[in-house]
Amino acid sequence: MRISALAALILMSSASAALPAHAQASLSERVDGIDQKVQPQSFRDLSKRLMPAVVNISTSQTIAPDGMPTFPEGSPMERFNEFFGRDEEGFRREGSLGSGFVISPDGIIITNNHVIENADEIDINFSNGRVLKAELIGRDSDTDLAVLKVESSTPLPFVDLADSDKAEVGDWVIAIGNPFGFGGSVSAGIISARNRDLNAGRSDDFIQTDAAINRGNSGGPLFNLGGEVVGVNTAIISPTGGSVGIGFSVPANLVKRISDQLIKEGRVRRAWLGVNVQDADETLVRAYKATGKGGVIITRITDDGPAANSDMEVGDLVLRFDGQTVTSVRELTRLISDTEIGRTVPIALVRDGKARTVNVTLGELEDDDTTEELNAALDAPASSNDLGAELTSLDDDVRRRYGIPNDVDGVAVTTVSARGRSFGKLRRGDVVMEVNFERVSTVSDTISKVETAMTTPHQPLLLRVKRRGEAGWFDQFISIDLTNS
């Protein structure tokens, strides 16, 4: 989700609203800025001090001919070349606008990657009217951050990054940027929430704010009252295309870590465990005879990856990583990304109902190795067994029908009852390989193990299945509550 354009621009007049009486206090000045523990009656002084370090960014790129005709010189239609923005060779140029901010007097600038992506030229416009050409130092698409550099004969005004871990919901913040090309615009609000996940990348950990953010604010700073950058404005959620009070900023601590790597190496290096995982809810955790609200289950281990060179196995329930509790895939991904490459970390897990610790030396991530599931609709008649799913042995005909590899053993799911226990859990074409950690190879063996499991009260059934996804076959772990009909 990126900041989208408004369908229409409505001009409205408004009066400045005064803060509630209990929120008003006089400013307390200090050497390095404004004390953020007091509430200003106005953001005037803070805005004046910060604006010189906030820049407007304009980019342009050359687009190759796209099949549209280019009219020859002297032709009555020649004037339409300029109308379509094309030169005599059929090329045209496109531009974009965004925001950024200077973090050092020698001209290092932070912005969003999507502001400068594919740009041939990047111009930095300062609040005093000065324009400088920028060089791209490095960019990271996962966090949508980019670092630029401008050359200046004199030191540039700059701002510092805050410790964003100290930012709390309810703190006052102001955003300064270039919305819709209106440079030097200031909006104020509060931090509405922390740790938001927009499914935009493996490092999602956004700060949510109600300070107005619109198209052109991308890459601009979100300041605390101490004049420090608490986040980089990156995205909004909006049914109208304009600000509705739900904006998102990349936290400053993540910005600092990513920008430091981009400045030093021109790219971001991330640690890699070499596994695919799925979330484990409380029911799945209980099926593993463990305790807790969640965890993650290893569904695939990459050949020759760090996990493959350790004692980890597919099916392991991971509960702690390097001493920190893991309750979700998102959390584990962020912990791995924040860990130093080459470091050996302890991973606490449960296997076959028994707790153990495995040490893994993390490698370096090179390729995005995510696996997307194939979402198939299930609509089938009732089934007579306790699973509510029809099963069949794996013969040549079944393997051909569902594309099941020869090295996959178990029983195939042919239909799933909409009224059965497995509805929404199993899918047509799944191969059930284990029931409660025990291998199965025949339908009768599978049903027998399910019936045995039903004699254990309040203990969910755990199935290990092979499932076909867009990237191939992978392991999936499913818990089924046998107490429900």
**Which residues belong to the active site?**
114, 144, 218
* Three-class SS state of 360: strand
Burial tier of 27 (Cβ tally within 10 Å: 0-12, 13-18, 19+): middle
State which H helix or E strand residue 81 sits in: helix 79-83
Question: Do 338 and 246 touch, CB atoms closer than 8 A?
Answer: no
Residue 112 to residue 218: CA distance in whole angstroms: 6
144 labelled binding-site residue = yes
Report yes or no: 187 and 249 within 8 Å, Cβ to Cβ: no
87 is in an annotated binding site: no
For residue 384, say whether it is annotated as part of any ligand binding site.
Answer: no
458 is in an annotated binding site: no
Give the residue among 273, 312, 314, 317 at the shortest CA–CA distance from 292: 317
If one counts every other C-beta atom within 10 angstroms of the C-beta of residue 369, the result is 14
Query: Contact at 8 Å (CB) between 44 and 50?
Result: no
300-to-210, 305, 462, 467 alpha-carbon distances in Å: 40, 11, 17, 11
Q: Name the CA radius of gyration of the chain, rounded.
A: 28
Are 121 and 134 contacting, i.e. CB atoms less than 8 angstroms apart? no
Asked if residue 299 lies in contact with residue 318, where contact means CB atoms within 8 angstroms, the answer is no
For 98, residues 6+ apart whose C-beta sits below 8 A from its C-beta are: 56, 57, 59, 111, 112, 115, 116, 178, 216, 217, 218, 219, 220
The answer to whether 234 and 141 are in contact (CB under 8 A) is no
Report d(CA 413, CA 56) in Å as an integer. Answer: 58
In this structure, which long-range contacts are made by residues 152-158, counting pairs with CB atoms below 8 Å and at least 24 apart in sequence? Answer: 152/106, 152/107, 155/105, 155/106, 156/53, 156/102, 156/104, 156/105, 156/106, 156/107, 156/126, 157/52, 157/53, 157/102, 157/105, 158/53, 158/101, 158/102, 158/103, 158/104, 158/105
β-strand pairing of 472-480 with 461-469: antiparallel
Q: Is 295 annotated as a binding residue?
A: no
- Distance, in Å, from the CA atom of 421 to the CA atom of 419, rounded to the nearest integer, reads 7
Residue reference for tokens 């995510």: 370
Which residue ranges are tagged as binding site for substrate?
Answer: 114, 144, 216-218
Which residue ranges are tagged as binding site?
Answer: 114, 144, 216-218
